[in-house]
Every structure is written in structure tokens, then in C-alpha cells.
Amino acid sequence: MVDVSAKPVTARTARAQALVRMTAAAAAALRDATAPKGDAFVTAQIAGIMAAKQTSNLIPLAHGLPVAHVGIEFSWDAPDRLRIEATASTTAQTGVEVEAMVAASVAALTVYDMTKALDKGIVIEEVRLLEKTGGKSGTWRA
């Protein structure tokens, strides 16, 4: 684990995304909230938030952070491709990039779980950091 004890406490934010590609039928079920297991968006939002708060339990050398906020938003990049964007913020000695990426990833996995009965070929792709602010390196954007 990296020693961050000498680093100043600063406000830090991060935005990450995951893309979920699926069949038209699965996309329609998501849009209409008729997926077999119920409203996938609500479930995925809660799962992503919970996952961000558990990042240090999932990633062995990640610092446990006082996560102040996690947000999950959904949009359609194409008729068959869902974009999940996660944001995370904290005031700490290290950043929340991994927390945002974990939130996006778990939200995407939850969408898969909620719709796998309709499409076993769902693809989760392009999990990546979009932006981070705060800390010594300042702002970074993809």
C-alpha cells in the first residue's frame, strides 16, 4: 500500500464509464423496465453505489476512503449500447478514480445479471476513467 500520510487532504472527484452492448430485445426490455428481474436501472444504480463504498475490500492495495458521494447515470449511445457513467467524490489524501471505475463496472455487471435471460451475449466494454480532479496532479481528462 502506498504511504499517503504526507499528502495533503484535498477535494477529489472522478468520472468513469462502462459501455454495455446488447440485442435490441434486451435494450427494449431495459427501456420499458420489463426485464425478467425488474427495473435494472434502479438495481444497477444501488449496486454501483454500494460497490464504490466497498472498493478497498475488493482491490487489495486500495485505501479505504470516506466516499462523500457516488452517482450513477444511464444513457443510450446507440439503440443497442447503454452508457453507464459513475461519479465519485471525497475529501482525502488520495483519489477516487478506482471507486468510480468500480461503481461503473458493478453497475454494468448488474445490468448484465438483470437482462441475461434475454441476451447471453451482452458485452461489457470500455470501462475507463473519463476525468479526475484534485490532488497533486490536478485535473486530468480523457
Tell me the pLDDT tens digit for each residue of 36-83. Answer: 888 999 999 999 999 999 999 999 999 999 999 999 999 999 999 999
Please report the pLDDT score of residue 5 as a whole number. 87
Q: What is the pLDDT of residue 89?
A: 98
Residue 21 confidence (pLDDT): 98
Residue 113 is a catalytic residue: yes
Domain 12-132 CATH class label = alpha beta
Catalytic member of 39, 77, 80, 113: 113
pLDDT band with cut points at 50, 70 and 90 for residue 1: confident
The pLDDT of residue 140 is above 90: yes
Distance CA(86)–CA(72), nearest Å, equals 5
Measured distance CA(108)–CA(40) in Å, rounded: 10
Distance separating alpha carbons of residues 100 and 17, to the nearest angstrom: 8
Beta strand segments in 23-118, E: 67-78, 81-92
At residue 139, the pLDDT reads 96
The residue among 13, 16, 12, 14 whose CA lies nearest residue 129 is 16
Q: Is the pLDDT of residue 136 over 90?
A: no
User: What's the chain's average pLDDT?
Assistant: 95
Domain boundaries, the chain: 12-132
Question: Is the full-model pTM beyond 0.75?
Answer: yes
* pLDDT class of 35 with cuts at 50, 70, 90: confident
Burial class (CB in 10 A: 0-12, 13-18, 19+), 41: buried
